[in-house]
Amino acid sequence: MTSRRELCVIGLGLIGGSVLRAADRAGWTVWGATTSPVDAAAAAGQGCTVEPDVGSALRRAAADDALVLLAVPFTAVEDVLTSVARHAPRCRLTDVVGVKEPVAAAVRRHVVPGTRYVGSHPMAGTSASGWAAGSADLFDGAPWVVSVDGGGDRAVWADRAVWAEVAGLALDCGAHVVPATAAEHDAAAARVSHLPHLLAAVLASVGARGGPLALALGAGSFTDGTRVAASHPELVRAMCEGNRVALVDALDDALGQLGAARAELASTGMVGSTVRAGHLARRAFDASRGGSDRGSVQVDLETPGAMERLRELGRLGARVTALHGTRCQVVL
């Protein structure tokens, strides 16, 4: 739906820096800005175009009619949106922040009506942070949520056009696109991203309280289970606290299952039901990652009800693997 391939990335840490690299690899004209002197110097040292400040980057985006992508921690979103409203008030805007509903609400508060926003979030990363941790292939094969909120009347056309551009960026970065509403994303991410960070933190703390011997015996299961506990604490806090309502629901579910496992172990000496349920759930996850044999469909973004159709398919775990003009190839 668009031939534009210019991208302004605000924030050049792990995710923003990887988007800039991947988009550059795919042939986009890219530049970025960051408040981190370390990340700015590292990116410039690798030949990337880094504007001297966020305002300069956004003014260039406004002049060149580029897509603007925010890749900053949730706690910095409000300040950056103030800059967007000042320097690029009519831009096409997306973000890669780990929560979607609070960001969408912030966009509504801070930017002018001319800004056309579609949220997104690549489900990829490492426990490291900063420009040095990123890579052009970080998103290869990864799911990348592109929000399909809204609907109805004339405003949808603008959303569809920007949606196609954001989806095209995700595909160009090597990901596949998962359509979802902001609320659906946040509820799902609480269970498969934010809760694992908290569980990893708890597991690491419990292990450490076992003393030097326990840590000396830590092997694969402890290493794998605590990997994300090595993430920068402030980034994890921003992500989890920004999604606190959905995360509380996920925590209640987890605590209920842990409580049941404890009760079973204390009363019968067994934990079979908990282990079996987890084993089956993991097998289901592996099967979903391996693809399916349910075939594929095409959704033309110009047809009435296209966004609603994408929402329905996203709830079934479908993914967009290609975009040909206005036609989305959706694998079921």
d(CA 39, CA 97): 18
| Token duo for residue 183 | 């609320």
- Token code pair at residue 107: 């966009």
User: Can you tell me which residue has the tokens 């040909």?
Assistant: 324
- Spatial separation of the C-alpha atoms in residues 96 and 182, rounded to whole Å: 12
170-190 burial: b if 16+ Cβ within 10 Å, else e: bbbbbbbbbbbbbebbbbbbb
Output the pLDDT for position 127. Answer: 84
Cα separation, 103 vs 90, in Å, equals 18
Under 8 Å between Cβ of 39 and 130: yes
CA 260 – CA 254 distance, rounded (Å): 10
Give the pLDDT band of residue 27 (cuts 50, 70, 90).
very high
DSSP 8-state code for residue 50: B
> What pLDDT is attached to residue 152?
43
Check residue 154 and give its pLDDT. Answer: 41
pLDDT at 31 over 90: yes
In the predicted model, what is the mean pLDDT of residues 90-107? 95
pLDDT per residue over 264-306, tens digit each?
999 999 999 999 999 999 999 998 886 656 789 999 999 999 9
User: What's the half-sphere exposure (Cβ side, CA atoms, 13 Å) at 202?
Assistant: 10
Q: Are strands 296-300 and 327-331 parallel, antiparallel or unpaired?
A: antiparallel
**CB-based contacts of 294, cutoff 8 Å, min separation 6:** 332
Q: Which amino acid is at 146?
A: V
- Percent residues over pLDDT 70 in the chain: 95
Mean pLDDT confidence for 249-260: 98
Model confidence at 101: pLDDT above 50: yes
Superfamily of domain 6-180+301-310: NAD(P)-binding Rossmann-like Domain (3.40.50.720)
pLDDT score at 156:
43
106: which 2 tokens?
């912030």
Whole-number pLDDT of residue 292: 58
**What kind and span of H or E run contains 329?**
strand 327-331
What residue ranges do the domains of the chain occupy? Answer: 6-180+301-310, 185-289
Q: How many other CB atoms are there within 10 angstroms of residue 133's CB atom?
A: 16
Lowest mean pLDDT among 147-156, 237-246, 313-322: 147-156
Q: What is the pLDDT of residues 172-220, one digit of tens each?
A: 999 999 999 999 999 999 999 999 999 999 999 999 999 999 999 999 9
CA angle 290, 295, 300 (to 5 degrees): 115
Task: Please state, in angstroms and rounded to a whole number, the distance separating the CA atoms of residues 9 and 95.
Answer: 9
Is residue 43 scored above 80 in pLDDT? yes
- Would you place residue 115 in the very low, low, confident or very high pLDDT band (cuts 50, 70, 90)? confident
On average, the pLDDT of the chain sits at 93
Q: How much is the average pLDDT of 37-58?
A: 98
Closest to 13 (Cα-Cα) out of 42, 47, 54: 42
Residue 158 has pLDDT above 70, yes or no: no
**pLDDT band, very low/low/confident/very high, at 32 (cuts 50, 70, 90):** very high
What gap in Å lies between CA 329 and CA 167, rounded to an integer?
12
pLDDT of 3 > 80? The answer is no
Distance between CA atoms of 328 and 320, rounded to whole angstroms?
Answer: 6
Mean pLDDT of 121-136: 94
What is the CATH code for 185-289? Answer: 1.10.3660.10
